[in-house]
Amino acid sequence: MIDEETLAQMNGKYVCPPDAGPAWRAAMEYGFDMSLIEASLKLTPEQRLAEHQQAIDFMIELQESGKTHGAE
């Protein structure tokens, strides 16, 4: 049986680390997806750059593909 809290998390509710400080909470309340920052902080700096390169490559490919297929 899945409890309500877990269900909410499955639906995208972010659980702030209990020891999160004021800057972290402020960013979260401002609307940033802090789960992305948490995930990024688990990587090494080089892994972050590699992931960024992959994302950029994909976005550029998508952009080029959109041009080819007449996206506005």
Partner 1 sequence: MAQNDQALLMRLKDSGLEFVVIGGLCVVYHGVPVATFDLDICCPFGEENVRKIESAVKDLNPVHRLTANKLPLAETRGSFKDLKNVYLQTDLGKLDCLSEVSGLGNYEQVLQQSILHTMSFGQFRMLNLDALIAAKSAAGRQKDLDAVRLLQAVKERKAQQKELF
- Binding-site ranges for partner 1 (CB under 8 A): 19-24, 26-27, 30, 32, 34, 36-37, 39-41, 43, 45-46, 48-49, 51-53, 55-57, 59-60
Residue 3: CB minimum distance to partner 1, A? 28
Nearer to partner 1, 2 or 31 (CB): 31
From CA 63, how far away is CA 66, in angstroms rounded? 5
Nearer to partner 1, 1 or 41 (CB): 41
Q: Provide the CB-side half-sphere exposure for 6 (13 A, CA).
A: 3
**Which tokens is 29 given?**
């309340």
**Which tokens is 46 given?**
């080089």
